[in-house]
Amino acid sequence: MGNDVHDKIVIGLDVTSLEEVERILSLCKDAKWFKVGSQLFTKFGPSVVEFIKKQNKNVFLDLKFHDIPNTVKNAVLSALDLGVDMLTLHSLGGAKMIEKAREVVDGTPLRLLAVTILTSHTEYELNSEIGIPGNIGEVVVRLAKLAVSAGAHGVVCSPQEIRLLRDSIGKDIMILTPGVRPTWDKDTQDQARVMTPGEAIRLGADKIVIARPILRTEDPSLAYNRLVEELEDAL
């Protein structure tokens, strides 16, 4: 899906103010994609999406819609009105939910990505707490196939499942992965299944989401440029 390194990086705006959003966008001038998640959208709503779009950047709305099909359909319609470029649905919402969402975006640039299993989940949690049997890889593949067959343009998974998914859903389906940490940042915090950005790209990820290694540094511009260099070496 192309070798433009900047198109492969999604900066997660896990921040608490619009001033911080503006700062990151101004410092990471070459970045094309920015993720708006639950924290930021709950606090500021559509205004933060509108601000990012006015800077001619792409918005990845990561709210993991998971509800009855008609409710999700209407939520996707609202996101489409906002000019969002990608958004997440939860694959556990089922085929009918994803099909309704796909009906809304057909003929538009908006792309739907289905979340499989969160990168924070361990296999023990998946089996014993949530009650889904099987190893994580098997469950991710099953959910990904369901989502793609129902109309999702791509999937979100941990780096550990990239190769499994490439083998099972093909090369034309978008794979986006969080849970990456650059070679110069080994702090995984609450993510259980991680990998370096370069490794993720080599395995077949189309886009990676990265937040803390860029946001928490004194010089986000330098951190972003180091990430670009790491990915260029991987291509």
The residues assigned a catalytic role are 64
Q: Please state the length of the chain.
A: 235
- Gap between the Cα atoms of 138 and 135, Å rounded: 6
Q: Are 175 and 215 in contact (CB under 8 A)?
A: no
- The CA–CA distances, whole Å, from 209 to 8, 9, 194, 205 equal 9, 6, 12, 11
- Gap between the Cα atoms of 146 and 22, Å rounded: 38
Beta strand pairing call for 33-37 and 58-65: parallel
192 Cβ neighbours under 8 A, 6+ residues apart: 119, 120, 121, 122
